[in-house]
Amino acid sequence: MSTPRLTRLLASFFAALLAYGASACISTDLPDDGSDGPTRIEQGLGVSGAAIAHSDVDKMEFRVYNCGGTTPIETKTSGIEPMTLPGGIEKFENAPYDPDSEHAFADKYFLLGAGCYDVEVEPLKSDGQPSTECSIASKQGVTVTDGQTTEILLISQCQGQARGGLDVIATLNHPPRVDGLEFIPSKFISCPNDVTICVDASDPDNDPMRVEWNILSGPTPLTLPQVTTSSVSNGTLTECIKFKPGVGNWTLEVTVFDQLFENGLLTDFETYYANQGNPQQSRDSLSFPLYGEQGTCGPPDTGVDAGVDVGTDVGMDAGVDVGVDVGVDTGVDSGLDAGTDAGADAGVDAGPDTGVAGCTRTQGYWQGWNKYAKQPNRQIPWPIPGGEDQLLCGETWLDILNTPIGGSSWYNLAHQYIPAKLNEADGTTVPPNVQSALSTADSLLPNYCVNPGMGGHFPAGPVSTQALSVKDVLDDYNNGLEGVPKCP
């Protein structure tokens, strides 16, 4: 005979003995005299509770209520039995458990009066607290009959181990590369000519890219670099900057970063890695020299206007200034005026009255002419409340102008917005389209404050396109291309 079969026979044998013993303890015979007799006769209720063995359950609390009651009339606790059900007991095989299954259980017997009862079993942990893994099991309307034991089986459902799938996809990313650099017309520039520098780059994975331009060494140029064109498509990039170097030697650097989308926005791979706690670089950099020869710029600025004004001034200068300015005009005109000058002659005459007042100055002028300038004759405060210390996104306007654009679309716009606002505050006429551009910039810049170390860009899409359009209008205005002349 096989061992499992022997085990089941023995279990059935002992179960029969237990059943016999239980029935032998109950009698319904009463004395002929109608008395209750020498012993109290009660009916039995046997309750077994089963729970999954792999849980926090150490014991079960059995509670019996009168049907519909809210307060237990009997409460007993029993530990988990050392065996499992069905455990070879045929009564429980396929009723309800599969013969080969194994379920931990506890059992408790109650002597009750015949009647209707609600029964509840609650799994407990070893400290007597309710189980956090297995539920209360209950049955209502259990009938206990005179002289019989009613046996019920309650099943407490336990939680399974929390499990989920993890599918890991590993991809490779390669850094972009700088493929070419072009100087237009040359890397040797005669002051004060413009130079345009273009970079070509590609990415082996066809990722989008962005560029940062930086001046590593050299004097402050007459105008800071500004991005004029930028195109990225199918893993190739071309971007150009334009500025007036002035006189001196410079070392510049161009850096290309590849990008991906994070939370719907273009982000550098380097930023993505840092956010994941695994900082790495994915870029290509190239440094290069640039030389600005003296050309027609003359000796260092003396700040003196040596021109001779032969026009006629009535209030604002209406004449024609034909003087030769060998420096940067300080606003002090030492020429000879044949008319009556009721204002301060800045050495610039607009000719016949056209309804346009003043002239525009670029960012290079406002960088060099402010109350913090090193040369005393250039220490002229800016004409706005707060002056050079006016704040935008936590930075002063002067600090923003002195921050290299480095490919940042935010700084690119700010470098045209600030001079335009200063020109307006200085009394220079602002055409309607320029006023509209300033109003748009008034909203864009503070609403998209950026950290240049995190890219310094407006969000890709309509916002970025709008910022570039506004920048171009303000750039033209500051350079005298929007109906108002530029100061010499």
Instruction: Give the separation between CA 435 and CA 422, rounded to whole angstroms.
Output: 13
Tens of pLDDT along 434-484?
A: 998 898 888 888 888 865 444 467 777 778 888 888 999 999 999 999 889
Tens of pLDDT along 264-291?
A: 788 899 989 988 888 999 999 999 999 9
Q: What is the mean pLDDT of residues 50-69?
A: 85
Instruction: Give the separation between CA 159 and CA 54, rounded to whole angstroms.
Output: 10
pLDDT confidence of residue 309? 33
pLDDT confidence of residue 47? 61
- Asked if the model's pLDDT at residue 305 lies above 70, the reply is no
- Asked if the model's pLDDT at residue 339 lies above 50, the reply is no
pLDDT confidence of residue 396? 92
Domains of the chain: which residue ranges? Answer: 43-155, 177-293, 354-478
276 vs 204: which has the higher pLDDT: 204
Instruction: Give the separation between CA 451 and CA 12, rounded to whole angstroms.
Output: 79
Tens of pLDDT along 405-444?
A: 867 888 889 999 999 999 999 999 999 899 988 988 888 8
Q: Which CATH architecture has domain 177-293?
A: Sandwich (2.60)
pLDDT confidence of residue 128? 94
Q: Contact at 8 Å (CB) between 232 and 209?
A: yes
165 vs 350: which has the higher pLDDT: 165
Question: What confidence tier does 350 reach under pLDDT thresholds 50, 70, 90?
Answer: very low
pLDDT confidence of residue 50? 54
For a pLDDT cut of 90, what percent of the chain falls above it?
Answer: 48
What is the rounded average pLDDT for all residues in the chain? 79
343 vs 188: which has the higher pLDDT: 188
Output DSSP code: residue 3: H
- Asked if the model's pLDDT at residue 241 lies above 60, the reply is yes
pLDDT confidence of residue 355? 65
Rg (CA), the chain: 46
- Asked if the model's pLDDT at residue 37 lies above 50, the reply is no
CATH code of the domain made up of 43-155 = 2.60.40.1120
Q: Do domains 43-155 and 177-293 have the same CATH topology?
A: yes
φ/ψ of residue 468, rounded to 5:
-65, -40
Instruction: Give the separation between CA 214 and CA 219, rounded to whole angstroms.
Output: 13
Q: How far is CA 273 from CA 104, 267, 280, 308, 473, in A?
A: 50, 10, 6, 63, 37
Tens of pLDDT along 7-23?
A: 444 444 333 333 333 33
Secondary structure element (H or E) that encloses residue 248, with its range: strand 248-262
Measured in whole angstroms, the distance separating CA 90 from the mean position of its chain's CA atoms is: 63
Spatial CA neighbour of 302 closest among 366, 361, 376, 367: 376
